[in-house]
Structure 1
Amino acid sequence: MRIIGLTGGIASGKSTVTRILERLGTAVIDADQLAREAVVPGTAGHRAIVETFGPAVLLPDGAIDRPALGRIIFADPVARGKLEAITHPAIAALAEQKLAELRRRGERVAFYVAPLLIEAGATGRVDEIWVVYVDRETQLARLTARDGITRHEAEQRLAAQMPMEEKAARGAVVIDNRGEPSELERQVLMLWDRHCRAGD
């Protein structure tokens, strides 16, 4: 099975590209979803987060309050490192399970969607990397509009990730998402037709 890693910066459009791929019937594993599964109440990941960051990062139902945790880790690289030490091994284990299931199903191509694919050292999990690219100003504008945060908060989040130009340089394929949604869809359909339809 050929595994394509889909990555990009925050607010670059990975989720939109993922929805297009899923609509086309492509097998997709989303690391963000795995990250949620890894810390549901009752898991070792959940217990470790509460022990590390305290009960202030919990919602009334016991689930992790992701915005509250985000405010801590994006303002403090040490705290971010502690969270990653908890979540990355758990995500890796879940990813291997999901990939094994897809292999058993006989899938020829699968996408592993991960915003921190390169930063987390997970590139060995994939055969090639596709990067969804936007320039920094577009990224900041979309992030502040999407999440209702200040520009300063948005810049903190961008600082926690590898710069987009550096990511793009690592991509076998770069999907340019600076234009209209219709242009993004055209690019994805063309790439899917070229790389995925026949399982090349």
Structure 2
Amino acid sequence: MIVGLTGGIASGKSTISEMIQEMNIPVIDADKIAREVVLPGEPAYKQIVEFFGTEILEKDGSLNRKKLGAVIFNDEEKRLKLNSIVHPAVRLRMLGRRDELLEKHKSVVMDIPLLFESKLTHMVDHTLLVYVDKETQLKRLMERDHSSSKEALSRIRSQIPLGDKKKWADEVIDNNGTLEESLQQLIHIFTKWDIL
């Protein structure tokens, strides 16, 4: 059984991911893999340097994420080029890791923040959304990143609203309450799916 775990910025997805790992169910984190595939020596890293040049590198040769971010921020073509290099490399590594883990475990969770946006639901059997209301999301993001409400809102608005994702997910964890309430929902869903 392969579960796609997703959410929105500051929805508490990382907390739910930790709960899943505490149940001894392996979690493959797309964000961590996205950082791995752009390390020096990786094929994606070489392609990025070839296309964007060495001015986006740190002195030690690693990618300077801020510089690269500034380059793609206002340039749709360059952003799409970066995505066309990084996304396939991430998918390939995630699928490889998934297959390895399924040899030893009956279930694997793939933590993919942009599961719906990137149209990756075909990679999983079930989708699980971590949901919070708009007010909670805004408050948590401002607290977490020490950002203004304007900055936080602009980051939230750059993603598909959680209310929309709710309609597409197979199951939803309402993460507005306590950790215990979220854990109970997770246990209920995983029991129903015969993961626990």
Q: TM-score, normalised by structure 2?
A: 0.86
| 1:104 aligned partner, one-letter code | E
What is the match of residue 158 of structure 1?
156
1:60 and 1:151, CA in 2 relative to 1: closer, same or farther beyond 3 A?
Answer: farther
Give CA deviations for 1:168-194 in whole Å, capped at 9, x if unaligned. Answer: 111111001112223222322333344
Give secondary structure in 2 for the equivalent of 1:40. coil
Contact 2:102 2:108 in 1 (8 A): no
What is the match of residue 174 of structure 2?
176
Give CA deviations for 1:89-136 in whole Å, capped at 9, x if unaligned. Answer: 00110011111102222x211111100111112110001100001122
C-alpha distance in structure 1 between counterparts of 2:139 and 2:30, whole Å: 24
Gaps of 5+ in 1: none
Matched, 1:63 2:54: no
- Cα deviation, residue 159, structure 1: 3.0
- Cα deviation, residue 68, structure 1: 5.0
1:124 and 1:142, CA in 2 relative to 1: closer, same or farther beyond 3 A?
Answer: same
C-alpha distance in structure 2 between counterparts of 1:69 and 1:140, whole Å: 27
1:185 and 1:68, CA in 2 relative to 1: closer, same or farther beyond 3 A?
Answer: farther
Matched, 1:14 2:13: yes
Contact 1:176 1:184 in 2 (8 A): yes
Contact 2:117 2:160 in 1 (8 A): yes
| 2:18 aligned partner, one-letter code | R
| 1:108 aligned partner, one-letter code | K
Contact 1:109 1:196 in 2 (8 A): no
1:97 and 1:69, CA in 2 relative to 1: closer, same or farther beyond 3 A?
Answer: same
C-alpha distance in structure 2 between counterparts of 1:83 and 1:89, whole Å: 11
- Which residue, out of 134, 137, 145, partners 1:147? 145
% identity of equivalent residues: 40
Deviates more, 1:150-159 or 1:89-98: 150-159
CA RMSD of aligned residues (A): 2.4
What is the match of residue 25 of structure 2?
26
C-alpha distance in structure 1 between counterparts of 2:120 and 2:21, whole Å: 22
What is the match of residue 81 of structure 1?
80
Count the aligned residue pairs: 196
C-alpha distance in structure 1 between counterparts of 2:166 and 2:75, whole Å: 26
- Cα deviation, residue 60, structure 1: 3.8
Deviates more, 1:179-188 or 1:127-136: 179-188
| 2:154 aligned partner, one-letter code | Q
| 1:184 aligned partner, one-letter code | S
- Cα deviation, residue 157, structure 1: 2.4
Give CA deviations for 1:30-74 in whole Å, capped at 9, x if unaligned. Answer: 111111111111222223334445555434433334455456656
Contact 1:74 1:156 in 2 (8 A): no
Gaps of 5+ in 2: none
